[in-house]
Amino acid sequence: MPWNEARELRGAELLHPPEEIERALDAMAAEITDVMAWERPLVLGVMVGGMIPAGRLLSKLNFPLEVDYVHATRYHGGIRGNELIWHAHPETPMEGRTVLVVDDILDEGRTLAAIIEACRRQRARAVYSAVLVNKIHDRKYGGLTADFVGMDVIDRYVFGAGMDYCGLGRNAPGIYAISREEEQRG
């Protein structure tokens, strides 16, 4: 069944088509390159949602870097954040390193803030964050902002380009908001 045929995803509204996502990734790569080209950074993809934007972004970074991942989540397949669960920590030593954490979305930011703090506890020299999507609202944890942002989205539940809705839609080519009816059901 195609991704847009699933009951939960029908009626979704396209917010950003694939071309806009590509332009956003190009712009992010240029900004990151300006800051980190001489740093030989450690790039941490945040599983699972950050896997797609991180993979797409890495191929645009034309300088030496290392890659690892972290798997921490508050969503557990649902649409409401709960307690943070760590499934995997990076294996690459961070002490004295510049670290770039790449995730799909900055919504409230509790997960991203915890990952950044964990990197600092590992004595990373500098920790930067990059998100494909920044959700516009005033509920950010501790006023958190990302260092590199691809695009802003409205305050609705979104999926695609790595983000999911109940485990579906990460592979959608654009960024979509779920239908108003599904949002009310959630």
Residue 121's H or E segment, with its range, is: helix 110-121
Q: In the prediction, which pLDDT does 184 show?
A: 78
Q: In the prediction, which pLDDT does 116 show?
A: 97
Domains annotated on the chain, with CATH: 18-154 (3.40.50.2020)
Residue 183's H or E segment, with its range, is: helix 180-185
Residue linked to tokens 């191929």: 59
Q: In the prediction, which pLDDT does 137 show?
A: 95
Confidence grade of residue 169 (pLDDT, cut at 50, 70, 90): very high
Least confident span in 7-11, 78-82, 117-121, 176-180: 78-82
What does the alpha-carbon distance between residue 79 and residue 93 come to, in Å, rounded to a whole number? 33
The vertex-24 CA angle with 20 and 27, nearest 5°, equals 140
φ and ψ of 165, to 5 deg: -130, 110
pTM for the whole structure: 0.92
What does the alpha-carbon distance between residue 15 and residue 171 come to, in Å, rounded to a whole number? 15
